A and B are shown apart, each in its own frame.
Chain A
Amino acid sequence: MTSPQPAPPQLERRQALVDVRLFMQRRSAVVGAVIMIVMLLVVLFGPLIAPYSPSIPDYAHILAPPSLKHLMGTDEFGRDILSRILWGARLSLAVGFIGAFASAILGTPIGLATAYYGGWFDDIVMRIVDIILSFPGILLAIGVIAILGPGLQNVIITIIVFGVPMFARIVRGSAISIKDLEYIEAARAGGATNSRILYQHMLRNLVGPITVQLTLQMANAILVASSLGFLGFGAQPPTPEWGAMLAEGRMFLTIAPWVDIFPGVCIFLAVLGFNMVGDGLNDMLDPRLRR
C-alpha cells in the first residue's frame, strides 16, 4: 500500500493548466503566446501608433513600394498599408474573439447537459450537431451568408452557427469521460443538485479541453472570417479588414505584390499564434504526448 507509486494522471492533469513552467518549456507555445500578446497590443493601441489615416486617399503616392515613409507601401488609393493593417486588426481579430467566445459560452452548456443527462435528449441534440457539422465549415458559412447577406456582423453569426455544435461535441466527449468518476458520484451521494454537479464539479475539470478548443477555434474563426472577407461576403471595402484588403489588392498582384503580401502575413501570423498556443496547451494536458 505504501509503495512509492507515481502520482495518478488525474492529479497531474489538473495541475498542468496552471503550470507556467511546463508551458515555458515548449518553445513553440511561447512563440505563439508572444504573437498573441503582440496581436492584442495591436488591437488595443494600433490606431494610436498608426502613422497615417487608414481611409484618406493620397493620389500622389498610389501603389508606392515599401519605403521608409511607407514601411509596407501604399495601395491603389495611396493609403498607407501599415496604418490600414493596424486599424483593421480590431476587425479581423475581434471577429475571431467574439465568434469563438460566443461559441464556447453557448456550446459548453449543451455539451455538458447532453453528457450528463444522456438518453433521448442526448440522441436528439447530437443528431442535430452531426447534421450541422455535415456541411464543411466554410460552405456552411457561405450558406448562412447567402441567407443573411454580407457584412461583418453576419460573419460572426456564421462562425457561431458552426462553432456551437463543435464545442458541444468536444465538451460532451470530455464530459462523458469524467462523469462516472468517483468524485462526481461522491458529490451526488452527498446530495449535490444536478446544476451544482454540472457547474461546480464537471465544468471545472473541463477547463483544460475547453481552453484548448477555444484557442484553436479562434485560429479557425480568423481564417474563416478572412476567407469570407476575401470572397466579398464579410467586411466591405473600404473597411481595412485584412481579408477584404486582400480582395481589393488581388487586382494588383502583378504590379504591386506588397498590397497582398502584408495583410496575408498578418492573418497567417495571427492564426499561427493561436494554433501554437492551442497545440502547446493540448500537449500539456495530454500526458501521453509528453515524450
Chain B
Amino acid sequence: MCLWPSGLPYCWVFFTRKKFLVRVTSHGVLKMAESEEEVDVLVQRVVKDITNAFKRNPNIDEIGVIPCPEARYNRSPIVLVENKLGVESWCVKFLLPYVHNKLLLYRQRKHWLDREALVDITCTLLLLNPDFTTAWNVRKELLQCGVLNPEKDLYLGKLALTKFPKSPETWIHRRWVLQQILRQFSVVGRSRKQQQQQGEAEQADGERSQQLSDHLARTLHQEMKVCSDAACRYPSNYNAWSHRIWVVQHMAKGNFKVFHDELSSMRLWVSMHVSDHSGFHYRQFLLKELITELSQTPASTTTCSPQHQSSTVPSVNPHHHSDTQANGELSGAEAAGEDERQLSLTTVLHLFHQEMELCSDLIQSFPGHETLWSHRRHVFYLWHQWRREHQHRCSNNGSSESVHLNNSDPGLTEVGAQSCAGRGESVNGQRHASEPMEIDRAPLPDPRDSKRLKRGVLLPAPPGLPCEHSFVSSILDRCSNPEQRRFALAYKKWLDTVMGPQP
C-alpha cells in the first residue's frame, strides 16, 4: 500500500560513492534512477517529511535511527509513532551528505537557499550530525534576524540530545540561546527601572515584566530537565553537568532557593547513580555555593541582581546580618541580625553534617565506588576549609567538635556534635509548627531555633580528622571488598598528607 502522495517512489537507494543512482522497484529489482534532479526531489521530500512531522506533532520528544539496511516499501523513511520520530537507517547515508553539501554551498555563496529552506535543512542536518558547528551558527543568524525564536532552537537541541547526549556543539548552542533570552530579560528589566525612576511606571509594562520572569523561571526549569535527561542517557556526562552548573550560575545567580531545591532533588539522583562522578561534582558545587552564600559577611550580602529580584522563582535569603556594636550590646534589630547569623552558621553545620552522613551511608551500602570516596574528600575538604576560615567564630574542642559561634560568650550559642564517622544523631529532633524550607527532606533550622541555641541546645556538626580516621578503620575492619579497601586506604593517605597528619 502506498501511504504517501503520488510522485516518485520513496524506495530508492543511492550509491553515491559510485556516482550513479539506483532505485528499488516494488519487486525489489534495482533500476538506474533517471537523473540527479530526481534525487534532488526525493531528498527534498524527506526533508519536508521531517518538517511536516514536527507540524503534525509538536510534542515529539525523542529521535532515533531505525535499523533498516534497505528500502523495502514504498513509504517515507520518516516514521512518527506517538511522540517518537524515527529515520530509517538506509536513507541517512544519502540524506546527510545531501543536506550537508547544500548548506556548505550556501555558506560559500554558490547556491541560494531561502530562509524557510535554511530552517528545514539545518534542522535535518543537526538531528543527524549535531556537532556540525556551522549549521548551529546559521541558526544563530536566523535567530538574530527573527526568523527563528529561541524556544524553537532549545527544542531542536533537546531532541538532538536524546540521540547524542554528549554533543558539545549542541550544549554550546544552548548556552548562546539562553544568553539571548537573558539579554531580552535584562533589557526589559532596565527599561522598567528607568521608567520607575521617572515615575512613569505603567501597569502594562509591569505585566510584561511579570510574563518575562515567569518565562525565565519556566526556561530554567526546562533546562534542568534537559540536563537530567542527558545525564540519565550517558553516565558521567561532563557536558550535561557543566552546562547545568553554567545554568544555575547565570540564570539563578544568588537565588538561594534554586540552589537548595537543586541540592534536594539531587539527593535521590546521586543515591541512584553512585558511579556518576559528574553528578556528585554538581552536588559539591551546590554545597560550596550555598555555604559561601551563608557565610558571607553582612557587608557583602547583596546577592540578588536586580533582574533576578523580580523573578517568580522566590529568592530566599535567610541572612540579612547587621554588625554587632563594639560594646557588645545589641539593639532589637541587631539582636535579630545576630539571630540570623547564628541561623546561617547552624545551617552550614547542618548541610555539612547531612552531606557526610549521606556519603557514609552510600559508601557502606555500595562498596568499591571511587566516586563516593572522591566525594568524601571534596566534602571533607570544604568543611575543613570553612572551619579554618571561620576560626574566629568557631573554636574546635578536639574530637567532640563543639563549635562556639561567639567567642565572647561560648555558653550562649554552643553548637556541638557527637557525630563521629558520619553516624551522628540529631539531638534536636523537635518539629516546627510551620513547615520550613527543606534541604534534603530535613527541615532547615527555623529562626526560632536560635532561641534554643541560646539555651545551649546541641546541633549535629560534621566530623573532624579523628572521626574520619575511625571511619576508615571501621571500613577496613569490616570490609573484604578489595576495591573498597584500596579506596579507603587512599582516603586515609589523602587525610594524612593533604589534610595534615593525624593528631
Do A and B pair up? The answer is: no
